[in-house]
């Protein structure tokens, strides 16, 4: 058991013929994810070919990759009808990405992972209003690495081989910082139940509390790592929720203590404005909620293991 | 992306938001002519820089600015070379306009928001005078927690809104609206009542607020602030206007590119954009080159944690090529404050040996003179470290980010 995705998850890629979409469709396929097709308007009826390889496949990146041939469709609706896909990863360019999200929701996709970075904020505002009509659909992202249940299903751009199946849930607003935490846990001999990158944008689908709730209810998850950054108040809200509802140990880290106010630090959502959204405020709220917060990202792994009585 | 007050006002005017008449000027002679043309008994001569606090700021002759006489808390400057006691000046004659403009143009305006370095005034806005009966505050911005824009208004105009929020939260009204629908008439009325407007002024205030909310959407604004908003008789209008664009939407805001003022941007940040690098200049001495925004912030934090100070934020992105790494090195080294560099790369999809090759090539190309600490982790890390070692270059390596930060901080001290 894990959350959001497992071996039975059938995945399509929207934007499969773009360079980025093609590269990561191959990556997810090689990992062992059930990739069942792709969508590129105008290229329906053609196929996405994957060549066999001697290595680079499997959960450790060292296995053979079998040849593959994925059907391409003009619309998500057609793809779902033909393949039974229940999840999608979106690599569509920013001007069209919000539309692609709504299309996936309308086609009945259960889990949408939007990897695209740089979507106009107003598009996401409108998109989130539209998604209210599809309560069964969950959006993860945008501007995120995706979701992985190690040794079962990888959807997104994270390097698969750094993960091992285990019982620590990881959720984060940052991509590479998540890899950092995951790698520390793996090198210490432990593994992850599911890792969710919720993304660095100010308006997004899934937020900390949504995932924390899933981890709390998941019997396979025994502890949780939560990685936040400056901007907004999602970490403070999550901390309050954890204090009230969470019985599993949680470790945390907040990036951006040295970020100057009023500047966007790479991520569109990483900005301290009007004295709100500071790292200090977030760390304080998290500590008050009983979360084990570390000062250096080098210590994320050991901090959660200590909190779980394993180090 | 920020734009000047006069540009924001021109955009708002086109979208039906009432603003005062004004003329942008680049010379004292133009300011003199503008006063005459506007024809009001008084005019405001306003420095155009991308920073707030202009009214209380001081203009200083560029060569005479003494940074040690700047108080970062209050924004006060008590040093020599002052050419104008204020960044926004009310003038009563064309000659006065000319003289005031000469005191501002080409000089450095130091305000609470500019920092000790200040900003050179390259243009001024001469605006028709007005006699407001009352001043208010209005802004439109994103409320991230609910994912909707919000109209924020207060009868306390011209004040620092954060102070109002802290001491008199009851004097602020916040109204969420759906950008597809704009501000509903009832919402606009509620806001106009809150400001205490009556009669025809009430009508014009409600209309202005609706136009303002619709402009926020049409312009893909990240933030739109009118402080103060004013009422004079039946007329409600913007006395100041501040607009910043959502950078992600610039591709469809065709006008925005023309409005960009490169003088207001850090030249290194402009250069970084050409290579699709995310760079922000800071005050410290340790240059950073990192992949991923979160990791880049965390790297800055760890440098500080071990007693150093970061010179910049720099995210080379996921697919850092050799060329990108070389460009990043050059940009970091353009900053004379940089005394050492820390490279921190988590090679996930990217292979560490490829990154190591990029670093080696860049070090040779730029003839690096400052200490360099490289921390690689992830895919093909052993090969990457070996390459760095075999290069014969004075590159220190580290296994963890903490170790890397300690080494780089030690090399600066």
| pLDDT digits 0-9 by tens, A90-136 | 999 999 999 999 999 999 999 999 999 999 999 999 999 999 999 99
- Catalytically annotated residue among B225, B245, B279, B377: B225
**Which residues of chain B are under the pLDDT cut of 70?**
318-320, 348-349
pLDDT value of position B319: 65
Q: Do B378 and A179 touch (CB under 8 A)?
A: yes
Structure tokens at A235: 């970490």
pLDDT value of position A266: 84
pLDDT value of position A1: 63
Q: Exposed (0-12), middle (13-18) or buried (19+): which is B53, by Cβ within 10 Å? A: middle
- Catalytic, B137? Answer yes
| pLDDT digits 0-9 by tens, A44-81 | 999 999 999 998 899 998 999 999 999 999 999 999 99
pLDDT value of position B349: 66
Mean pLDDT, residues A30-49? 97
**Whether A99 contacts chain B with CB within 8 A:** no
CA distances from B181 to A43, A129, B184, B258 (A): 36, 12, 7, 29
Distance CA B292, CA B294 (A): 6
Q: CA-nearest residue of chain A to B399?
A: A298
Distance CA A198, CA A180 (A): 16
Question: Which residues in chain A have their CB less than 8 angstroms from residue B379's CB?
Answer: 159, 161
Q: CA-nearest residue of chain A to B219?
A: A122
Are the beta carbons of A78 and A58 closer than 8 angstroms? no
**Whether B297 contacts chain A with CB within 8 A:** yes
Interface mutation target, options A180, A260, A263, A279, chain B, most CBs of B under 10 Å: A180
Global confidence as pTM: 0.93
Residue B245, beta-bridge partner list: B221
pLDDT value of position B158: 78
Distance CA B375, CA B385 (A): 9
Omega prior to A142 cis, within 30 of 0: yes
Q: Tell me what percent of the residues of chain A surpass a pLDDT of 70.
A: 100
**Whether A37 contacts chain B with CB within 8 A:** no
Q: B284 vs chain A: nearest CA distance in angstroms?
A: 11
What ipTM was estimated for this complex? 0.91
**Whether B153 contacts chain A with CB within 8 A:** no
pLDDT value of position B320: 67
- Nearest CB to A275: which of B162, B220, B301? B162
Distance CA B60, CA A149 (A): 60
Q: Do A263 and B280 touch (CB under 8 A)?
A: yes
Chain A with chain B: Cβ pairs closer than 8 A: 170
What is the 8-class DSSP label of residue A260? P
């Amino acid at each position: 058991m894990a959350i959001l995705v497992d071996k039975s998850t059938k995945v399509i890629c929207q934007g499969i013929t773009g360079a980025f979409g093609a590269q990561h469709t191959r990556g997810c396929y090689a990992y062992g994810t059930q990739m069942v097709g792709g969508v590129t308007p105008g290229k329906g009826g053609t196929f996405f070919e994957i060549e066999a390889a001697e290595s680079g496949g499997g959960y450790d990146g060292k296995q053979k990759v079998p040849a593959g041939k994925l059907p391409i469709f003009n619309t998500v609706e057609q793809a779902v009808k033909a393949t039974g896909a229940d999840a999608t990863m979106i690599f569509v360019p920013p001007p069209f990405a919000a539309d692609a999200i709504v299309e996936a929701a309308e086609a009945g996709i259960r889990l949408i992972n939007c990897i695209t970075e740089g979507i106009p904020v107003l598009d996401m505002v409108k998109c989130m209003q539209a998604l209210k009509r599809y309560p069964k659909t969950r959006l993860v992202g945008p501007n995120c690495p995706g979701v992985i249940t190690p040794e079962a299903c990888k959807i997104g751009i994270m390097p698969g081989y750094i993960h091992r199946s285990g019982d620590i849930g990881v959720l984060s607003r940052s991509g590479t910082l998540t890899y950092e935490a995951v790698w520390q846990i793996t090198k210490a001999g432990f593994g992850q139940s599911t890792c969710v990158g919720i993304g660095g944008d100010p308006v997004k689908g899934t937020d900390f509390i949504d995932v924390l709730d899933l981890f709390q209810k998941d019997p396979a998850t025994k502890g949780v790592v939560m990685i936040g950054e400056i901007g907004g108040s999602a970490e403070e809200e999550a901390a309050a929720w954890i204090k009230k509802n969470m019985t599993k140990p949680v470790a945390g880290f907040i990036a951006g203590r040295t970020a100057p106010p009023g500047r966007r630090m790479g991520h569109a959502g990483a900005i301290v404005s009007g004295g709100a959204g500071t790292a200090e405020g977030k760390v304080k709220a998290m500590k008050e909620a009983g979360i084990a917060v570390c000062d250096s990202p080098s210590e994320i792994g050991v901090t959660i293991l200590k909190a779980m009585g394993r180090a | 992306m920020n734009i000047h007050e006069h540009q924001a006002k021109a955009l708002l005017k086109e979208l039906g938001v009432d603003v005062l008449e004004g003329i942008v000027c680049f010379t004292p002679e133009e300011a003199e002519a503008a006063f005459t043309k506007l024809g009001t008994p008084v005019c405001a001569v306003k420095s155009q820089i991308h920073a707030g606090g202009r009214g209380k700021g001081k203009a200083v002759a560029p060569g005479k600015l003494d940074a040690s006489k700047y108080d970062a808390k209050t924004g006060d400057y008590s040093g020599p070379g002052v050419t104008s006691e204020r960044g926004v000046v009310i003038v009563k004659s064309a000659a006065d306009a000319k003289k005031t403009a000469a005191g501002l143009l080409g000089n450095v305006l130091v305000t609470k928001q500019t920092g000790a370095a200040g900003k050179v005034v390259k243009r001024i806005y001469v605006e028709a005078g007005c006699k407001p009966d009352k001043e208010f505050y209005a802004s439109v911005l994103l409320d991230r927690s609910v994912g909707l824009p919000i109209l924020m208004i207060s009868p306390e105009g011209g004040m620092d809104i954060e102070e109002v929020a802290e001491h008199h939260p009851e004097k602020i009204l916040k109204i969420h609206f759906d950008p597809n629908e704009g501000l509903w008439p009832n919402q606009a009325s509620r806001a106009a009542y809150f400001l205490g407007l009556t009669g025809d002024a009430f009508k014009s205030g409600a209309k202005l607020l609706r136009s303002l909310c619709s402009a926020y959407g049409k312009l893909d604004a990240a933030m739109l602030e009118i402080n103060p908003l004013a009422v004079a008789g039946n007329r409600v209008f913007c006395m100041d206007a501040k607009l910043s664009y959502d950078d992600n939407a610039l591709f469809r805001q065709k006008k925005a590119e023309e409005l960009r003022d490169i003088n207001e941007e850090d030249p290194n940040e402009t250069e970084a954009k050409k290579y699709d690098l995310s760079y922000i200049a800071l005050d410290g001495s340790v240059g950073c080159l990192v992949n991923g925004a979160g990791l880049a912030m965390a790297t800055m934090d760890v440098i500080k944690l071990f007693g150093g100070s970061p010179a910049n934020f720099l995210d080379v992105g996921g697919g850092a090529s050799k060329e990108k790494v070389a460009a990043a090195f050059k940009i970091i080294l353009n900053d004379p404050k940089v005394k050492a560099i820390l490279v921190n790369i988590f090679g996930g999809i990217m292979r560490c040996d490829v990154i190591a090759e990029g670093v080696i090539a860049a070090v040779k190309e730029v003839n690096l003179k400052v200490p360099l600490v490289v921390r690689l982790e992830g895919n093909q890390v052993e090969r990457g470290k070996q390459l760095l070692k075999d290069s014969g270059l004075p590159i220190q390596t580290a296994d963890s980010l903490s170790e890397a930060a300690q080494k780089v901080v030690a090399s600066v001290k």
